Amino acid sequence: MPKLLVVDDEHDICDFVRNFFNERGYTVQTAGSGDEALSIVKENRPDLILLDIKMKGMDGIAVLKHIKTFDKNIKVIMVSALEDQEKMDEACRLGACNYITKPLALDNLEHAVEKMFKV
């Protein structure tokens, strides 16, 4: 069963995405901060992380850097409310696989996640 980690400081989004992917057979954990996400990554090694860029405290770009120093093989899809080409480029340079904008369209999100497991 694929393991997902959803990282967003908006708990409603975490719950919404967790429920959506649980119904599709994924094991889903959530984290409300970068520090919490890094602890989960070290303990549970998810297969894929949906990582919000703009969070209080440690932002998603900093979290991505830490994840990739810990394990380069973990796939990460960045999520943001803003389409910021500079942030997208930086995330790609750091090893993110994809970039999705909010509001999350479930069809697009599901397609992006499924694509990561078919690679």
Q: What is the pLDDT of residue 85?
A: 84
DSSP for the chain reads --EEEEE-S-HHHHHHHHHHHHTTT-EEEEESSHHHHHHHHHHH--SEEEEESS-SSS-HHHHHHHHHHH-TTSEEEEEESS--HHHHHHHHHTT--EEEESSPPHHHHHHHHHHHHH-
pLDDT at 77: 97
Q: What local confidence, expressed as pLDDT, does residue 119 receive? A: 54
Tell me the average confidence (pLDDT) per consecutive run of 10 residues in the chain, 119 residues long.
95 96 96 97 96 94 95 94 85 94 91 86
pLDDT of residue 100: 92
Where do the domains of the chain lie, and which CATH numbers do they carry?
3-118 (3.40.50.2300)
Identify the pLDDT of residue 37: 98
Q: Treating both helix axes as pointing N-terminal to C-terminal, what angle do 34-44 and 60-70 enclose, rounded to 10 degrees? A: 20
Q: Is the CB of residue 105 less than 8 Å from the CB of residue 91?
A: no
> Residue 113's pLDDT is what?
95
Q: Which of 99, 100, 98, 88 is nearest to 119 (CA)?
A: 98
**pLDDT for res 39:** 97
Torsion of CA 76, 77, 81, 82, to 10 degrees: 90
